[in-house]
Copies of this chain bind each other. A is one copy, B any other.
Amino acid sequence: MQRRTFIKDTATYTAIGLASNGFSIGHNIFSVDKVKVGFIGVGARGNGTLELALLRKDVVVTAICDIDKDAANRGAKLVTDAGHKAPALFTDGDHSYKKLLDLKDLDVVFICTPWEWHTPMSIDAMKAGKAVACEVAGAMSIDECWQMVRTYEATLTPFMIMENVCYRRDVMAVLNMVRKDMFGEMIHLEGGYQHDLREVKFNDGINYYGGGVEFGDKGYSEAKWRTTHSVYRNGDLYPTHGIGPIGSYIHNNRGNRFEYLTSMSSKARGLHNYVTDHPKGGKDHPNAKVNFRLGDVVTTNIMTTNGETITLSHDTNLPRPYSLGFRVQGTKGLWMDVNKSLYIEGKSPAHKWELAEPYLKEYDHPLWKKYENDASGAGHGGMDWFVMNAFIEAYKRKDPMPLDVYDHASWAAITCLSEQSISQGGEPQSFPDFTDGKWMHRKPIFALNDVY
């Protein structure tokens, strides 16, 4: 806190901040050492995150782990091409990440591995005292969520769940508007993950996306592991892009929390059809016999303790345009992203939608105003820059992580509760209170200003 106060009071800070054309250097002047970063998993997603890390002047990548040696070497080359020392490499099987965690010359790890590895790796990292930046996913079990929480509480090693959509420009502008009470008291929210992933779930075993109907051992990249979840599981497998921003809007775990949910799954047709209709597939292809359990559209309703309802959609097997389907509705109006429109009583023409764009510009979040240039060109429209920046800056300041282990547990639990509800014919499922009652007193901390 002293450092932050000092920064705020120093004219130099503002001057440097305004003059900065590249990445923020405002804080480096106060930190002696660079943050030493390790990567566990440098596949499609990890590779992109690594590239982003290498652009930062306050970060040095000292170690890389991946069971795919080619991927690890490609990552190491990125590091040396950026002019840095070659990182230590760990490629010797599923548990070689533990050796990476043994390194002394390492402050934090980015975990960008298949979903089922997030929890064991995060737990081991926290126990080893390495701060964790963990990619998003649904949980495999409720107990897994508890393990994350209890390990954090026992170790107090910083943990951040890297939900980039919380930093999407329109999402943050709307957060700004929510905080200015422009939509009134929150009533109903919607979001989800509506993304045609058929060319992610299937490929030709060589390229990242499409070109065949292979998955599992014969697939490549995400098709190698992600598709398996669509074979065996039926629920909202990927809730965080929708629920993360909504969590900020309704103060999840900070004066409010998710109380129970019900979930319903449509029939499953999309993945089977993709296999049988593909020129490299067909009715006689072995994968035409696979019983994909994941319903094409899974709809989940969540009740909060403060009485807001939330509807989440998971829709990844069918042809459709990408849409996270946000709706933020309060007593004074609502915003929807699918029609890029909003309505605010007393401002909008009566009973008519207005284009959201002018409002999103006017209420652009201070963070985006400040760092727009830094973020431009970064992944997913710039939001990847912000989520990494938040993690690194909070770490350097020893601040609480803006998206913490309680956020993670309550978001990731949706997957398991959704599976349970569906398997019980829609029965409501209660959320555990992962904060042990602390939610009643905790205050919002996410993106309160333009610091990170």
Residues of the B chain whose Cβ atoms lie less than 8 Å from the Cβ of A331 = 269-270, 273, 296, 318-319
A285 to chain B, nearest CB (A): 18
Number of copies: 2
Contact of A427 among B306, B308, B321, B428 (CB under 8 A): B428
- The A contact surface, by secondary structure, is loop
A120 to chain B, nearest CB (A): 33
A196 pairs with B321, CB closer than 8 A: no
A269 pairs with B185, CB closer than 8 A: yes
Contact of A320 among B306, B321, B334, B339 (CB under 8 A): B334
Decide yes or no: A188 and B426 within 8 Å by CB, A333-B320, A345-B319 being known contacts.
no
A303 pairs with B185, CB closer than 8 A: no
State in angstroms the CA–CA spacing of A267 and B427 once bound together.
21
A297 at the interface (CB under 8 A from B): yes
Can you name the residue of chain B whose Cβ is closest to the Cβ of A330? B318
Contact of A308 among B267, B270, B425 (CB under 8 A): B267
Residues of the B chain whose Cβ atoms lie less than 8 Å from the Cβ of A332 = 319
Residues of the B chain whose Cβ atoms lie less than 8 Å from the Cβ of A345 = 319
Residues of the B chain whose Cβ atoms lie less than 8 Å from the Cβ of A264 = 262, 301, 303, 309
A267 pairs with B426, CB closer than 8 A: no
Residues of the B chain whose Cβ atoms lie less than 8 Å from the Cβ of A306 = 267
A262 pairs with B428, CB closer than 8 A: yes
State in angstroms the CA–CA spacing of A219 and B368 once bound together.
50
Residues of the B chain whose Cβ atoms lie less than 8 Å from the Cβ of A188 = 266, 296-297, 299, 315
7 pairs of A and B residues whose beta carbons are closest in the complex: A267-B307, A319-B345, A426-B428, A188-B297, A339-B339, A262-B262, A266-B309
